[in-house]
A and B are shown apart, each in its own frame.
Chain A
């Protein structure tokens, strides 16, 4: 008999008052009993709407059926046939817009907690003594992957499993891309990322850090001199966007990328860290996505007394993952919706003193179908702040484009690819934010997977 409760089984989490001051993981995951209770809510629908909502098509009802039986190893095997990073996705996927959105149980009540179950299975697996990973037999073909974020890691993993000799080139000193520099420890512990990277190296994937492709080596050199038959570009989102309002270069104005990189990658929040970060008291985060939530909650943990999320649309339009909004609110982040900054005001020493804002209202829907925010006349007001974090997106990094002839990009910089991730350059494929602009971990993974398949086909065809 399925569990007919209308609500998801609750997931234990750290007390908001406590966690707002530490970087330990917020959600603590299901116990086996909770997982079984939640898994029993799945109706095992014949038409599997949830699978269609998953960018990597995990066979969701099948793995959940194994959780019900208590065979977690079997559940893990099913997930890992489709996903290379289940412990990551269980934590950071916006399930409410994907698998769980299509869940039949969501018609009346809450959907099955698919993400929570995925996380449970992945964590269970990681807690077991590591089974020796068997290196597949080499097939003698070399592929280069640029960037070690979600799309690059996925593409590298899929190709390595097929026997390819894969080298991942990472610009920073540590592999993981946005999983290590962007998403904070309290939402995605870094040892989980490291474990996924270690699994790849066990498969035979080589990871070269400190390699800024486009500078130290070009794609042409990789292919012509180093013998890589194909290249996957997963270089991620690049330069942070700013609003072009007065005062944006004052001291105390950060891009979310900088603020998060200082905190996550460089561990600036630790007492003995050599990388500095401002310990601001009143922080305004501009934007409404996951990055904005991460920045706001990090600011709180570093010691801010007041943190605002300032977003020009209403709460309903917040693009952040649904679970993060109540999490942020519980911790004390204040949501200032339908508000937009128009100027950042500095003190005598050019540090941020306040933000001049205006109220917004929602007008007619724009081309994307979202209602366009319109300024309310004479609604300006001044909000005290000593730090402003701009989390309004990024534009693609120019380094690879500018050094790769024949690689065509959109006007805004995104690399142009076909439905298989093939770029306009022979043998060069791309995926993730470098193609789509800022999107999600799982979409990037999906594109890495698609490209891996296309790369395999391309090389096999050429080898004939």
Chain B
């Protein structure tokens, strides 16, 4: 069993948990993920690792409450245990040799972008971070980003915090102003990553994206997480989750991610009803 040693809300619908999993903590690198089950009758879901504490033997996960499983996960408290927690899965983000990088994070994707920015900063790399959120209530990890970024730009859809607009606007401005990045690393909603790639393509800046498709086993067995990358079928769990953004077929990935939307909405509503009943 994997104990929750810390739990706190980061924003209205985003929660941070520190999970006791010493072996995973020892191995995990930025960019990798875990598969967990909140309860022993639950679904297996992939969540990216947003940090580790090897002394405490804990792994940090940050999740957005979007569906039935994350809703249930969020009902667990400090001292409770997760049924299952397997990792670290996937390949770590390749950062070696990078001197100047722009890290672009969207929403809960910042939970993954932040440790990458941190590691780059620790390596002595110049880091520009551009992060985007729906509005000021959803902003997360600001202090952490500021601590490891040479430049930090925050965007909100409604302008309630930072600047109003999407992350690609300042990215484009920086590139046009002549910033020379060794790499742009984008992590967030598929649509955001697609537009980041469209922004960097004309400047030919290598752009890495972190894909988070539907997964079951996460170990290279089921093939549910397949994507088309450069015309070839790739498995995000073992070949990724990072890929060359210029080669990813985002439109296909978006369609595949939405495959169970109806089921998921129904499951979410049922879970909410169930949990509300329990509260009453």
Task: Indicate whether A257 sits within 8 Å of B219 (C-beta atoms), given known contacts A216-B87, A244-B233, A274-B68.
Answer: no
Q: Is A255 an interface residue (CB 8 A)?
A: yes
- What's the Cα separation between A158 and B89 when bound, in Å? 31
Of all chain B residues, the one with the shortest Cβ separation from A390 is B223
B260 touches A171 (CB 8 A): no
Which residues from A are CB-within-8-Å of B23? 211, 216-217
A215 to B35, CA, bound (A): 13
CB–CB A266/B222 < 8 A: no
Q: Are B222 and A249 in contact, with the CB atoms below 8 A? A: no
A-binding segment of B36-44, B135-143, B148-156, B161-169: B36-44
**Pairwise interchain contact A212-B223, C-beta atoms closer than 8 A:** no
Decide: A258 and B223 in contact? CB cutoff 8 A.
yes
Does A251 belong to the interface (CB within 8 Å)? yes
Is A261 interfacial (CB-CB < 8 Å)? yes
Could you tell me if B233 and A276 are in contact, using CB atoms closer than 8 angstroms?
no
Contact, CB under 8 Å: A399 / B222? no
Residues of chain B within 8 A (CB-CB) of A398 are: 220, 238
Instruction: Name which of A234-242, A282-290, A365-373 contacts chain B.
Output: A234-242
Q: When the two chains form the complex, which single residue of B222, B227, B255 contacts A251, counting CB atoms closer than 8 Å?
A: B255
Interface 9-mer from B10-18, B78-86, B97-105, B182-190:
B78-86
Whether A172 sits at the interface, judged by CB under 8 Å, is: yes
Q: Are B86 and A171 in contact (CB under 8 A)?
A: yes
Encoded as 1 (CB less than 8 Å from any A CB) or 0, chain B from 23 to 59 comes to 1100100000000010001111000000000000000
B200 at interface by CB-CB < 8 Å:
no
- Per a CB cutoff under 8 Å, which of A173, A248, A251 touches B86? A173
Question: Chain A 341-357 against B: per-residue CB contact (8 Å), 1 yes, 0 no?
Answer: 00000000110000000
What 0/1 pattern do residues 207 to 241 of A give for CB contact below 8 A with B?
00111100111000000000000000000101110
With the chains together, A461 CA to B76 CA distance in Å? 51
A212-B87, A216-B23, A257-B222 known; A251-B37 Cβ under 8 A: no
Q: Which residues of A contact B69 (CB under 8 A)?
A: 274
CA distance A240 to B238 in the complex (A): 12
Q: Would B219 and A397 count as touching, CB distance under 8 A?
A: yes
Interface centre among B24, B223, B227, B258 (most CB of A within 10 A): B223
Task: Indicate the size class of the contact surface on chain A.
Answer: 35 or more
B256-A251 in contact (CB<8A)? yes
Question: 0/1 per residue, A280-311, Cβ < 8 Å to B?
Answer: 00000000000000000000000000000000
Q: Decide: A258 and B224 in contact? CB cutoff 8 A.
A: yes
Q: Is the CB of A274 within 8 A of B216?
A: no
Q: How far is the CB of A83 from chain B (nearest CB, A)?
A: 26
Q: Name the 6 nearest CB pairs between A and B, nearest first.
A: A255-B223, A210-B86, A258-B222, A274-B43, A240-B223, A276-B263
Residues of B within 8 A of A (CB): 23-24, 27, 37, 41-44, 68-69, 83-89, 216-217, 219-224, 226-228, 233, 235, 238, 252, 255-256, 258-260, 263-264, 267
Residues of A within 8 A of B (CB): 171-173, 181, 209-212, 215-217, 236, 238-240, 242, 244, 248-249, 251-252, 254-255, 257-258, 261-262, 265-266, 273-276, 278, 349-350, 397-399
A/B interface sample: 21 pairs, CB < 8 A? A181-B217, A209-B84, A212-B219, A216-B27, A217-B27, A239-B221, A239-B223, A240-B222, A240-B223, A244-B233, A249-B226, A249-B227, A255-B223, A258-B216, A258-B222, A262-B216, A274-B43, A276-B264, A397-B219, A397-B220, A397-B238
